[in-house]
């Protein structure tokens, strides 16, 4: 392919991919499958890697992230991001309407009603139709520059559609994590034995401040836009500006309505109070704005908020019920979770019988006891939670709750590390819920993907004595399954076939499937690439494990503890004998070399390709990436705008400072 052909293909792919992004994430009308999309994206990435100078500033490849932000620069807002006055009552809404009416005199006016999205406020700057910068609300005067991370949000346009947009303007909105995405991430964290995310809003805020944009991209954040700002905007009303923004490619919510008076506002509030729980995102109220820009100017501002807008907040639903008992659940990793069993009560449209008490510290903080009358809320949490106790109704003979000291399933003494909030059952290989949980994790879609073997079937096999660990799955025969309840010939055959097919699953997923605490999908991939095979991981020292990119002390300690147990090593050997993949494939190894001979590199600055690409190149050729310059550093790979501290330290230690081209020559020569 010639350079001109590559240029034309890159332009065509970029346009096509962004159109598919728009259809999928903004219109919710996908026109191709995820697989077809990924094929096109990989082609674009390959071309941009071969011709980095042809990468467009709004390349769809930016959506997958890869850039690292060490510090989020503080940026002053072009227009202050004021907060809105809040109200919880219809009376205060009437008072707001009376003030508007009084200040506008006899002028007729309209309101725009929008849902109040419970996410993170963001302001985005566009110039000549291109996305330039994204800044968080911060204190309203200044916020953090999160441009790199915002580019990974698929519903945020990097280049605007059509024409008619101002040459220079800002649009504001809310970044949020869909409920379905929140549930997906927490399921992954649960599988990896990690602490769960608290709620979608906090998770969104934490994600936007992550240093690695590639990780941000995996979180699948979304963004609603609802306010256009700029000089000499070609609109007379707020509603008109939203419709225009929608035509430019922004994801403007379809829930917005134009109403003629306060009665229409109240009708909108009532309608969405009933419907908001069916949405895939959190909303805690309604924002009401005067529609006319001229009337907004007449109404003006107070020191803290506009006089032409107000936020009505729905009251968080709280119910009172009785705490009947506190019981304990044992998770796959042995984590103990206390559960409040409640007298059934209706909350937010569902009957609630149980609520999480999280850990021993929460129970102590709430001073909650069996028999108490308790206040229960859902609020921003997905799972109901107890927020307090009605002390006036406490039985004087009620005793403080004593947290269990032994596993409720196997009786083993519980342990709790100093830096952990949870208690754990250490009986990893003898505690039934842990064994079943690990087998279910092992067979799950993201691990060994044995589709025909669901959780209920795993539990049935365990209770029947057919399996006691993950290796036993590979000894099963169809004849053993047929006598089981609800097990027909076809079902049994599908299970045996699914187990056989799982032997083709690549090493990194097998490693994840083992269910080692703190080893999620991403960590398993890093380990597989860094160590090449299971024997290297099992025999590695802590120091050797720490040399693998992104492997910290907690993960290293977890690996050493797991493989230090002979039963786990025996389990791996049984799985290996069964035919599972415990090393990188020939294809994966073929793309690797040892030209850099295990030497350590520090990559710093801006390059023609992303830093992640350069780091991947180093690892692919047998080198190691470290974050800071030390006596063990072989080379400092310096790009533009590199921080002076690293250069000074490298010069002081006599460490060679090389360019991106120097690195490529080093790899090519293999010296």
Average pLDDT over residues 155-161: 92
pLDDT in tens, 485-523: 889 999 999 999 999 999 999 999 999 999 998 898 878
For the chain, give every residue range classified as CATH 1.10.150.20.
432-504, 507-589
Q: Assign 253 a pLDDT band (cuts: 50, 70, 90).
A: very high
618, 596 contact by CB (below 8 A): yes
b/e string for 4-29 if b means 16 or more Cβ within 10 A? eeebebbeebbeebbebbbebbbeee
Q: Report pLDDT for 93.
A: 94
Q: Assign 270 a pLDDT band (cuts: 50, 70, 90).
A: very high
Q: Report pLDDT for 65.
A: 60
Superfamily of domain 3-64: Helix hairpin bin (1.10.287.610)
Q: Report pLDDT for 20.
A: 83
Taken in order 163, 168, 172, 177, is the CA torsion positive or negative?
positive
Statement: residue 157 has pLDDT above 60: yes
pLDDT in tens, 575-608: 999 999 999 887 777 767 778 877 889 998 878 7
For the chain, give every residue range classified as CATH 3.40.50.10190.
593-669
Among 20-24, 432-436, 580-584, 635-639, where is mean pLDDT lowest?
Answer: 20-24
449, 499 contact by CB (below 8 A): no
Between 519 and 616, where is the model more confident?
519
CATH number of 318-393: 2.40.50.140
Phi, psi of 530 (to 5 degrees): -75, -35
Q: The pTM is what? A: 0.54
Q: Which residues are catalytic?
A: 116
Domain covering 76-313, topology? D-amino Acid Aminotransferase; Chain A, domain 1 (3.30.470)
Q: Assign 415 a pLDDT band (cuts: 50, 70, 90).
A: very high
Statement: residue 167 has pLDDT above 60: yes
- Tell me the two tokens of residue 295: 């009337």
432-504: which CATH number, 1.10.10.10, 1.10.1040.10, 1.10.150.20, 3.90.79.10?
Answer: 1.10.150.20
- pLDDT > 70: what percent of the chain? 96
**Domain 593-669 is in which class?**
alpha beta
416, 338 contact by CB (below 8 A): no
Statement: residue 379 has pLDDT above 70: no
Q: Assign 611 a pLDDT band (cuts: 50, 70, 90).
A: confident
Average pLDDT over residues 144-159: 92
507-589: which CATH number, 3.40.50.150, 1.10.150.20, 1.10.260.40, 3.30.450.20?
Answer: 1.10.150.20
Average pLDDT over residues 450-475: 93
pLDDT in tens, 84-122: 888 888 899 999 999 999 999 889 999 999 999 989 999
- pLDDT > 90: what percent of the chain? 52
Q: Assign 377 a pLDDT band (cuts: 50, 70, 90).
A: confident
For the chain, give every residue range classified as CATH 3.30.470.30.
76-313
Given strand 657-658, what is the order of strands in its sheet?
624-625, 600-604, 633-638, 657-658
The mean of the pLDDT values for the chain is 88
Q: From residue 424, how far is each of 198, 328, 394, 435, 481 by CA, in Å?
A: 20, 11, 31, 14, 34
For the chain, give every residue range classified as CATH 2.40.50.140.
318-393
pLDDT in tens, 334-351: 999 999 999 999 886 678
Q: Report pLDDT for 99.
A: 93
């Amino acid at each position: 392919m010639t350079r001109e052909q590559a240029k034309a293909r890159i332009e065509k792919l970029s346009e096509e991919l962004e159109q598919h992004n728009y259809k999928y994430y903004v219109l919710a009308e996908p026109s191709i499958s995820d697989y077809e999309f990924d094929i096109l994206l990989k082609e674009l990435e390959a071309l941009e890697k071969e011709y980095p100078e042809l990468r467009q500033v709004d390349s769809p490849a930016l959506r997958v992230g890869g850039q690292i932000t060490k510090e989020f620069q503080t940026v002053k807002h072009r227009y202050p991001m004021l907060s809105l006055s809040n109200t919880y009552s219809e009376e205060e809404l009437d008072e707001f309407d009376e003030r508007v009416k009084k200040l506008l005199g006899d002028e007729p006016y309209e309101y725009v009603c929008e849902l109040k999205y419970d996410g993170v406020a963001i302001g985005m700057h566009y110039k000549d139709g291109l996305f330039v910068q994204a800044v968080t609300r911060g204190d309203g005067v200044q916020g953090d520059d999160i441009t790199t991370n915002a580019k990974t949000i698929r519903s945020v346009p990097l280049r605007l559609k059509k024409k008619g947009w101002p040459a220079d303007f800002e649009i504001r909105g809310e970044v949020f994590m869909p409920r379905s995405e929140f549930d997906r991430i927490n399921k992954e964290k649960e599988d990896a034995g990690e602490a769960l995310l608290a709620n979608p809003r906090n998770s969104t805020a934490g994600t936007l401040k992550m240093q690695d944009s590639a990780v941000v991209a995996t979180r699948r954040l979304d963004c609603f836009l609802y306010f256009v700002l700029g000089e000499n905007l070609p609109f007379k009303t707020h509603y008109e500006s939203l419709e225009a923004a929608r035509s430019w490619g922004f994801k403007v919510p379809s829930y917005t309505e134009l109403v003629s008076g306060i009665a229409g506002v109240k009708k909108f509030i009532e309608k969405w109070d009933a419907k908001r729980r069916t949405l895939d995102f959190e909303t805690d109220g309604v924002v009401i704005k005067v529609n006319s820009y001229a009337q907004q100017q007449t109404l003006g501002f107070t020191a803290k908020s506009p006089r032409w807008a107000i936020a009505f907040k729905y009251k968080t639903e709280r119910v009172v019920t009785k705490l009947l008992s506190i019981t304990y659940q044992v998770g796959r990793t042995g984590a103990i979770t206390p559960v409040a069993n409640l007298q059934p009560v209706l909350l937010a449209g569902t009957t609630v019988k149980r609520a999480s008490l999280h850990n021993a510290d929460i129970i102590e903080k709430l001073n909650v006891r069996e028999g108490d009358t308790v206040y229960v809320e859902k609020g921003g949490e997905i799972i109901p939670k107890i927020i307090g106790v009605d002390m006036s109704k406490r039985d004087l003979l009620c005793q403080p709750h004593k947290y269990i000291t032994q596993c409720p399933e196997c009786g083993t003494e519980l342990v709790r590390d100093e830096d952990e909030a949870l208690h754990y059952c250490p009986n990893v290989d003898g505690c039934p819920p842990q064994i079943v949980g690990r087998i279910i994790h092992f067979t799950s879609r993201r691990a060994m993907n044995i589709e025909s073997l669901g959780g209920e079937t795993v539990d049935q096999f365990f209770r029947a004595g057919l399996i006691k660990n993950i290796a036993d799955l590979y000894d099963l025969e169809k004849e053993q399954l047929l006598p089981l309840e609800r097990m027909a010939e076809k079902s049994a055959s599908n299970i045996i076939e699914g187990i056989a097919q799982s032997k083709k699953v690549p090493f990194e997923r097998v490693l994840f499937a083992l269910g080692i605490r703190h080893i999620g999908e991403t960590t398993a991939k890093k380990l597989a690439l860094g160590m090449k095979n299971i024997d290297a991981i099992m025999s590695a020292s802590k120091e050797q494990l720490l040399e693998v990119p992104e492997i910290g002390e907690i993960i290293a300690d977890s690996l050493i503890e797991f493989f230090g147990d002979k039963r786990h090593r025996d389990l791996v050997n049984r799985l290996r004998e069964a035919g599972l993949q415990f090393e990188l494939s020939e294809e994966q190894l073929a793309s690797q070399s040892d030209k850099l001979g295990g030497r350590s590199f520090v990559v710093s600055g801006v390059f023609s390709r992303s830093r992640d690409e350069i780091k991947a190149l180093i690892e692919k050729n047998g080198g190691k990436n470290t974050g800071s310059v030390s006596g063990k550093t072989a080379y400092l790979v310096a790009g533009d705008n590199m921080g002076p501290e690293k250069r000074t330290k490298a010069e002081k230690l006599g460490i060679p400072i090389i360019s991106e081209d120097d690195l490529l020559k080093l790899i090519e020569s293999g010296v």
